[in-house]
Structure 1
Amino acid sequence: MKHARLTIALGLAALTAACGKKAETPVAVETNQAAPAAAMSGDMGNMAMAPAAPASIMAKGHGTVTAIDKAAGTITLNHGPIPEAKWPAMTMAFKAASAITDAAKVGDKVDFDVTLVGSAGEVTAIQKKP
């Protein structure tokens, strides 16, 4: 019993002594790993982050050609809802290659493929409906 009390007393003395000591800083070993954040210096709060490129969405639509601006390279379509973009039916202008603006006429009912980036889109294919 005396032995157990002595062990407990020595253990408590060692813990009490350890509470007053500062933790030692481990010696760095050269590795191929990145330095921990605490070892980095400088103000990274002002570091500019590159914006993520907006994702493009491929979608299909159905509508009527309401205007063509060959100089601006746009085609305006009164189209039905486009679920892939969560767009309701509306009339809007899209970018379009000259082959598309040359092939379409105002009043044509069409099916079209569009690539959407953000709130803008480009018609990449168009087919007249009979």
Structure 2
Amino acid sequence: MNYARLTIALGLAALTAACGKKAETPVAAETNQASPDAAMSGDMGNMAMAPSATSAIKAKGHGTVKEIDKAAGTITLDHGPIPEAKWPAMTMAFKAAPAIADAAKVGDKVDFDVTLVGSAGEVTAIQKQP
């Protein structure tokens, strides 16, 4: 088992060196995965993650409602940059309580409050823009 890990680590180091990038310590796959049902798109190449997977960040955003899935308890927003999280503009599904989902409809331009933990977030307040 240790031989397999060493082989994988050396292979990753060689691939990284071949790309001209500095090798990094391997991280367990389960700590870097987003929820399989999370919908995100946009240029996330320069997106920094929250400092810790357990630290909650309160943030505000502006965007357009793209989808509401009441069964899954999510709202998909095409939002502008969120500086508190160091996120660029993107389209992303957030958790949302039923009252939040009921307060908006697809196509609405909205201001929203979101609590971010790691790369996931929950919309905690939403207000339709005039």
Q: Give the structure-2-normalised TM-score.
A: 0.59
Q: Which residue of 1 aligns with 2:115?
A: 115
Q: Which residue of 2 aligns with 1:31?
A: none
Percent identity at matched positions?
A: 86
Distance (Å, rounded) in 1 between the aligned partners of 2:78 and 2:108: 11
Q: Which residue of 2 aligns with 1:128?
A: 128
Task: From the CA coordinates, give the structure whose radius of gyration is larger.
Answer: 1
Letter in 2 for 1:97: A
Distance (Å, rounded) in 1 between the aligned partners of 2:74 and 2:58: 18
The alpha-carbon deviation at position 101 of structure 1 amounts to 0.4
Structure 1: runs of 5+ lacking an equivalent: 1-51
Q: Which residue of 2 aligns with 1:44?
A: none
1:72-87, aligned counterparts within 5 Å? Answer: 72-87=72-87
1:25-36, aligned counterparts within 5 Å? Answer: none
Q: Deviations over 1:17-53 (max 9, x none)?
A: xxxxxxxxxxxxxxxxxxxxxxxxxxxxxxxxxxx86
Q: Which residue of 2 aligns with 1:54?
A: 54
Distance (Å, rounded) in 1 between the aligned partners of 2:53 and 2:105: 34
Native 8 Å contact 2:61 2:82 kept in 1: yes
Distance (Å, rounded) in 1 between the aligned partners of 2:53 and 2:73: 24
Distance (Å, rounded) in 2 between the aligned partners of 1:100 and 1:114: 11
The alpha-carbon deviation at position 54 of structure 1 amounts to 1.1
The alpha-carbon deviation at position 103 of structure 1 amounts to 1.3
Q: Which residue of 2 aligns with 1:104?
A: 104
Distance (Å, rounded) in 2 between the aligned partners of 1:64 and 1:111: 9
Q: What is the count of residue pairs matched by the alignment?
A: 79
The alpha-carbon deviation at position 86 of structure 1 amounts to 0.4
The alpha-carbon deviation at position 62 of structure 1 amounts to 0.1
After TM superposition, the runs of 4+ consecutive aligned structure 1 residues lying more than 3 A away are none
SS at match of 2:71: coil
Kindly indicate whether structure 1 or structure 2 has the higher relative contact order, using CA contacts under 8 Å at least 6 residues apart: 2
Aligned CA-pair RMSD: 1.1
